[in-house]
Chains A and B, each alone.
Chain A
Amino acid sequence: DAGVIQSPRHEVTEMGQEVTLRCKPISGHDYLFWYRQTMMRGLELLIYFNNNVPIDDSGMPEDRFSAKMPNASFSTLKIQPSEPRDSAVYFCASRWTSGASTDTQYFGPGTRLTVL
């Protein structure tokens, strides 16, 4: 398997523009997570899905952020309008839940977002 795929790898945009980040989880995985990494706050969970259904979005910072998972192989994280403080690395991760304590999340390479 190719692992978790994220696109684009780098995104530079101007304040006020809409940004869409994309994620393809590992095939067969039933959980998908979106994280944001910043210098100040480290790695923060934004939202996670189980079987394409959003379960917990309490980490989404504002209404400007939205996430969707229309099917098991695709998810998007959208920021509209974007602001300079949204600049960060955004990671997507997926997991297959077998019930074993060794279940782990597999992370994608991340999208580095810069908002000017």
Chain B
Amino acid sequence: GQQLNQSPQSMFIQEGEDVSMNCTSSSIFNTWLWYKQEPGEGPVLLIALYKAGELTSNGRLTAQFGITRKDSFLNISASIPSDVGIYFCAGQLDGGTSYGKLTFGQGTILTVHP
């Protein structure tokens, strides 16, 4: 089956630093999603990407859908303590029975020191 390789597995940064994480896949996806999960909560959607090459921002977050459709990255600029959490990438194929079936990465645990 499809697998997503997300890196890094964890990051320890100082407040104000920029953060970058990425996901690569052995096969293509038509949709890339980035979620954040805080302790005791379910994942919350941050950014959705639907076209190869697409670059989308949401406040201090920026994500890109790779041209090959096999990768995506997420950048967080000027990190703040509330950015702490686990960030997941997820990919989805289109069409037929593929809708609704997300493949998730292993997650990146982000710790921000004040």
A and B bind: no
